[in-house]
Each structure stands twice: as C-alpha cells, then as structure tokens.
Amino acid sequence: MSEVTLDHHIHSIGDADVEGILEDYTDESVLIIPNAVLKGLDEIRDLYVNLTTEILPPGSDIHLHEKVVEDNIGYVIWHAESDGYKIPFASDTFVFSDEDKIEVHTSAFVLHEKE
C-alpha cells in the first residue's frame, strides 16, 4: 500500500494541493532537505506552501523519471521547471509507517532561480 500513498503524494504535488500532500504525513513525520530538518505537520506545511505557490505553482512542468517502491520504502527521481525556477535534478526517499503514512522523507535537489 505504500505505493498508493506515494502516488497520492506525487499527484497532490502536481495539483498544488497542500492539504492533500499533508494527508500523507503525521505530526511525527520528519522531512530532511538541504540545510534543514522539518518536524511535524506545521513545519512541513510551510515548506509545501512555499513549494506550491512560489517555486512550482500550478502549471509548472514536473517530470517523474523513476519511481521505485520496495516494502515500506519509496524512491523517486524527477525534474521540474516553472516561470521562476528550474530544478534540473531532484531525488526523494520515503519511509512509510505501518499505516502507510510518511514517517521519514529525504529530498536532495538542485534549485536555480531564473533571471
């Protein structure tokens, strides 16, 4: 069932649906990105509000290159571009709980602001 949660997460990001994205996390979830460790729904919400309004707003081109799910671990490679930003490479790893919620999510990416 972890694949169902991962698919929901991917589609919610594409739809810029912050509340849908947050359905996949819990108050105990941890999201690790370059230079930050975010804990709980409030901190994770702030990241996704910024992502879906500033960096990759609706209408952005988001391309999934690879998706792998093995037991309770998911992995994706993707790239994206919006009017203001380009992400030529991103990689995310997810660890899912027994309830198919994201317990741990790590994300590595290259982000360029367009001039």
Tell me if 7 sits within 8 A of 74, measured CB to CB.
no
pTM of the model: 0.94
**Around Cβ 99, how many Cβ atoms within 10 Å?**
9
42 CA to centre of own chain: 15
9: left (phi over 0), alpha (psi -120 to 50) or beta: alpha
C-alpha count within 13 angstroms, C-beta hemisphere, residue 77: 5
pLDDT at 38 over 80: yes
Q: Please, which pLDDT band fits residue 115 given cuts at 50, 70 and 90?
A: confident
Q: Please, which pLDDT band fits residue 35 given cuts at 50, 70 and 90?
A: very high
Q: Under CATH, which number does the domain 2-113 receive?
A: 3.10.450.50
CA distance 21 to 58: 14
